[in-house]
Structure 1
């Protein structure tokens, strides 16, 4: 976010609300705008961040020599293509030849897969606060900081669209990593995944520092029409930055707690899905790690497309006033929880059918992203002045959930090779449903009193 003087500059420009109709229409047309270009650039950075994170998930089946034994006691009645099964031993031998293989139990694998989250929950709150004061440009490596950009760049009627274009980069990063990761593990060895996607991250950082600006006021190449449109839209919303934190009011805010609790419960199931999807397809559905990567990628590719289209749909429903914003948020959240919950409960009973299992997983991948149009962006609705800090706080809940869920999943799978996966899914669904109920009861989509400019309660 800009400094105090820059914030005043925003107010000075936004005070002239007499935009010409032609200029306003021009600034709102199509996707050829600086703000959409920024969304694509954030998409690319999210791609890089998540591809590095997902590298471990796709490499894990190739890093261990015990994954192939983690199969249900009964043979599958419907198997993947014969060549996938016949090539498993050859694939494993090839992998061992080009990279070391470790004897890790499922419990150890769960701890390793969740290790990404162990220290991550310490970073979001201070980084979110720093981003709120100094801007997001110099905090590219922190996912939290990107939300401060949309406080200054996203007109209210385009908020969901721009955020979902950016957020879909996480799914795209997972999609590409899974799509080519299995092939790289088989031909070049699993270390190659980390080298390649680490290099892409360095390139994304260069582009970020070169092209990203914290607000449209200081952007060198933005048109006057687009600048006026963005600034005046945000002035009407009244989302100038907050420099003090009303901590006591935040603690008492049930709508905020509804969002935070949902972040914990939703990311429980999301982390299991992201970390264990290749392993599940490999061990339960009996596909080799190359094919499991490709199949996992197809599922996430569908989710990526659904994220962008879902953002457009939400903005359409909001701009045409078909539903109130709070209705859109809660309906999207309900769809994103209920449909995947039914899928995960059903997986244990259709595990003998490869096509049925993949069909259900595809359905869950497409519908689970509706939460991104619901509770997971709701902070921008209730407290735009404190978006960075609160987004950081919500990520603490998300990372804490991830640290626990993968570890618990690994323990359950190691204890029972047949019913372990069923127990993992049932626990995840129960936790996710409880978060949905809490959010539906307390969730709101209007700016809270403690987040308005008239409130300056401090510790």
Structure 2
């Protein structure tokens, strides 16, 4: 969009835009707003139509981005991205509700990783195709038209075929329904389970998930938004090569998802390790290995292209193991409140998704400056390390007592009885 020399003179570009970091982070301004409410709504009313609606509406605004860019400028793009963020705040909490309803404990890690690895695969495909399309006579606007249309079609298909839970499925066998519901720890009449806010906010295991989610958000989205700029400004790759190389780390992320998750589930089902040990191992890999890779990346210069790519691949690829660690851990702790808890942790952690890309601009404006990138990578490395250690110390894996009842209300009643007896 900001290229000075588009492949076709008829393609509009905006090389004078100087707020690209702001544009890149603007999606997350809206994304953090509805996370908690989205989880609550998904738990009480079912996630099917919320996932459908968020995909279709978000895709419509994807189609509108080139139009708004030409008509309004960068402000128009920012408006579209903020609306997409507001809208997509419903996506992951609602998806987490679906996972909690449809997965027994022995398959939870595999299903979660398979579902969330879709984002990695999407990044791989879109980065490669986007570079090729933008570098062709079709130009960058076609990228938004194609992906937006695909999202609308997907949303319609999802809305037709998906149901909220096994109890609502019309053709599922009774045997399969019992198999799923017997070990997913979800209360059948979920509307009668109020949210125990006090117990949640005072739970160290929940804080451990929240803290590690912040690290993942900072590191993942800093790299997602800034890798193309780093490869272009420091490593001197052209647009098409840049898009293909930027996709490489996400290829590894997608593959690792399918390797780590069945191993984790197998270790748990065979009782080789406990649930929390498996979660801590996976989460440690997803924090400590990217931390080491980013620290090393701070020493790389423009003449070490292969080494830089290797470090980026490790940093991005290994972070995906979090899908088998902290990400799925909220379902272990409280399946009845999975949507709410995921909305809380994901929504708050997305503040760090905003801060990560914006921090690049605060640390410096010269994208060719190696010292700027060293600061960016080392800051992310330190955040990964500190938050990973916090999770190792405080995380737990067993269902919490407040999953099935309002422990805040019980505690209040107990205090009243004690006062009356006194």
- TM-score of Structure 1 vs Structure 2, range by shorter chain: 0.7 to 0.9
Q: Could you report, residue by residue, the CA deviation over 1:55-79 in whole angstroms, capped at 9, with x for unpaired residues?
A: xxxxxxx4244xxxxxxxxxxxxxx
Asked if the contact 1:151/1:239 (under 8 Å) is kept, the reply is: no
Tell me what 2:77 maps to.
none
Tell me what 2:7 maps to.
94
By relative contact order (CA 8 Å, sep 6+), the higher-ranking structure is: 1
Tell me what 1:89 maps to.
none
Report deviation, 1:138: 1.1
Report deviation, 1:255: 0.9
Matched, 1:146 2:57: no
Matched, 1:164 2:113: yes
Q: Distance in 1 between matches of 2:237 and 2:341?
A: 41
Give the secondary structure class of the aligned counterpart of 2:36: helix
Tell me what 1:381 maps to.
332
Matched, 1:347 2:297: yes
Tell me what 2:193 maps to.
243
Residue among 419, 424, 431 paired with 2:371: 419
Q: Distance in 2 between matches of 1:226 and 1:447?
A: 23
Q: Distance in 2 between matches of 1:380 and 1:228?
A: 19
Tell me what 1:334 maps to.
284
Tell me what 2:122 maps to.
173
Q: CA RMSD in A?
A: 1.9
Aligned positions of 1:196-275 closer than 5 A = 196-234=146-184, 237=185, 239-240=187-188, 241=190, 243-275=193-225
Structure 1 range deviating more: 192-201 or 356-365: 356-365
Report deviation, 1:127: 1.0
Asked if the contact 2:130/2:143 (under 8 Å) is kept, the reply is: yes
Structure 1 range deviating more: 256-265 or 169-178: 256-265
Aligned residues: 368
Q: Could you report, residue by residue, the CA deviation over 1:183-206 in whole angstroms, capped at 9, with x for unpaired residues?
A: 111111111111110001101111
Tell me what 1:319 maps to.
269
Residue among 389, 393, 398 paired with 1:437: 389
- Residues 103 and 311 of structure 1, relative CA distance in 2, 3 Å threshold: same
Q: Distance in 1 between matches of 2:288 and 2:45?
A: 40
Asked if the contact 2:100/2:186 (under 8 Å) is kept, the reply is: no
Structure 1 range deviating more: 146-155 or 348-357: 348-357
Tell me what 1:284 maps to.
234
Q: Distance in 1 between matches of 2:187 and 2:278?
A: 21
Q: Could you report, residue by residue, the CA deviation over 1:8-54 in whole angstroms, capped at 9, with x for unpaired residues?
A: xxxxxxxxxxxxxxxxxxxxxxxxxxxxxxxxxxxxxxxxxxxxxxx
Tell me what 1:74 maps to.
none
Matched, 1:63 2:15: no
Report deviation, 1:291: 0.8
Q: Distance in 2 between matches of 1:414 and 1:143?
A: 33
Q: Distance in 2 between matches of 1:371 and 1:413?
A: 30
How does the TM-score come out when normalised to structure 2? 0.83
Matched, 1:113 2:63: no
Q: Distance in 1 between matches of 2:361 and 2:324?
A: 30
Matched, 1:404 2:317: no
Q: Distance in 1 between matches of 2:300 and 2:322?
A: 26
Q: Distance in 2 between matches of 1:233 and 1:447?
A: 11
Give the secondary structure class of the aligned counterpart of 1:293: helix
Q: Distance in 1 between matches of 2:33 and 2:297?
A: 35
Structure 1 range deviating more: 315-324 or 364-373: 364-373
Tell me what 1:29 maps to.
none
- Residues 454 and 349 of structure 1, relative CA distance in 2, 3 Å threshold: closer
Tell me what 1:366 maps to.
317
- Residues 147 and 63 of structure 1, relative CA distance in 2, 3 Å threshold: same
Q: Distance in 2 between matches of 1:243 and 1:227?
A: 21
Asked if the contact 2:197/2:408 (under 8 Å) is kept, the reply is: no
Report deviation, 1:119: 1.7
- Residues 239 and 144 of structure 1, relative CA distance in 2, 3 Å threshold: same
Residue among 122, 135, 149 paired with 2:46: 135
- Residues 406 and 96 of structure 1, relative CA distance in 2, 3 Å threshold: farther
Asked if the contact 2:103/2:180 (under 8 Å) is kept, the reply is: yes
How does the TM-score come out when normalised to structure 1? 0.76
Give the secondary structure class of the aligned counterpart of 1:378: helix
Report deviation, 1:310: 1.4
Q: Could you report, residue by residue, the CA deviation over 1:392-451 in whole angstroms, capped at 9, with x for unpaired residues?
A: 101212221111111111332415723111101111111222211221111111112222
Give the secondary structure class of the aligned counterpart of 1:138: helix
Structure 2: state its 5+ residue gaps: 55-90, 413-422
